[in-house]
Structure 1
Amino acid sequence: MFATSPAESVHALDLAALRVPSITFWAARSHEGALLGCGALKQHDDALGELKSMRTASAARGHGVASAVLLEIIAECRRRGIREVKLETGTEEYFAPARRLYERHGFTPCAPFAEYTEDPNSAYYGLRLEYITG
């Protein structure tokens, strides 16, 4: 991320930050064990989850890895009863495929949330999860 965004606009989690109880991490691997992609969920509270650390190996891009990881994280949010999933991603052209991925899966632009603030290098998205009651 530091190669594509100004340091003050990088919100990626390092390894220590991924090891806290509020973070759940997923890794997608090939049959041979090669890492294809990953993603994480940061649960802010009972109602809000944040998508973090979505990455796809360059050799795996275009094969549905990111969608598979994203759909699994959304499914986990539903299992937990989380009402909304939000995320921050970059505004640079490098992040255009990520923005398209999120939009294809129903995420829409939103205001900064949690500890985020307005930043010309950040785009914020949210997805409201619907539940059938009764």
Structure 2
Amino acid sequence: MQFLTDDLSSSDVIQLLTEHMTDMHTTSPPESSHTLDLSGLKHPSVRFWVCRSGDKDNTLLGCVALKYLKEGHGEIKSMRTASSQRGRGVGRYMLEQLMAFAQSAGYSEISLETGTQPFFYPAHQLYRNFGFQDCPPFADYQPDPHSRFMHFSF
């Protein structure tokens, strides 16, 4: 697997993000869906990566973004494993790479918002396995029964 920065211009990346946004809007009420669209992911405060197979097909396996919130604090956004690749360790690999980048870039804390519905249970477990713990809303988020907030400190 390869973890690469990406400019969000290729059709397979756009298709994966469209699938991601559709699932998020289908799974969570509109007021509780905090996904970034393409313009949001292209904002200068956001760094975006893809995970590709690294073979001759260079298949897109997943994507993830890190949004700068303030000095030393970032937020994981748009973490998505392609449906056909789930259960193969892609999410774990991307999270390992993102966390290594964050630590080397001087971040001292990483937060995230995810849903509370059963669809999100595998993500909850992945984040817990990395040491993320539940926390109160951060940044501009408000308490929401459909949102779960998690935090990790280096």
**Does the TM-score normalized on the shorter chain lie above 0.5?**
yes
Structure 2 residue 69 is the aligned partner of structure 1 residue 69 = no
1:48 aligns with 2:40: no
Equivalent of residue 29 in structure 1, options 45, 48, 52: 52
Secondary structure of the structure 2 residue equivalent to 1:20: coil
Q: Deviations over 1:84-125 (max 9, x none)?
A: 000000000000001011001100000000010100000000
Instruction: Name the amino acid aligned to 2:65.
Output: A
1:46: Cα distance to partner? Answer: 1.7
Taking the aligned partners of 1:73 and 1:117, their CA distance within structure 2 comes to 25
Normalised TM-score (structure 2): 0.82
Shift of 1:81: 0.8
Correspondence for 1:96 among 110, 114, 121: 121
Match of 2:25, SS state, is coil
In structure 2, distance between residues paired with 1:112 and 1:29: 32
Alignment partner, residue 3 of structure 2: none
SS class of match (1:17): helix
Counterpart in 2 of 1:132? none
Mapped partners of 1:53, 1:33: distance in 2 = 21
What TM-score does the superposition give when structure 1 sets the normalisation length? Answer: 0.94
Structure 1 residue 82 and structure 2 residue 129: aligned? no
Alpha-carbon distance in structure 2 between the residues aligned to 1:97 and 1:112: 21
Q: Which runs of 5+ in 1 are unaligned?
A: 130-134
TM-fit CA distance, 1:29 = 1.2
Distance (whole Å) between structure 2 residues aligned to residue 58 and residue 16 of structure 1: 24
Which runs of no fewer than 5 residues in structure 2 stay unpaired?
Answer: 1-23
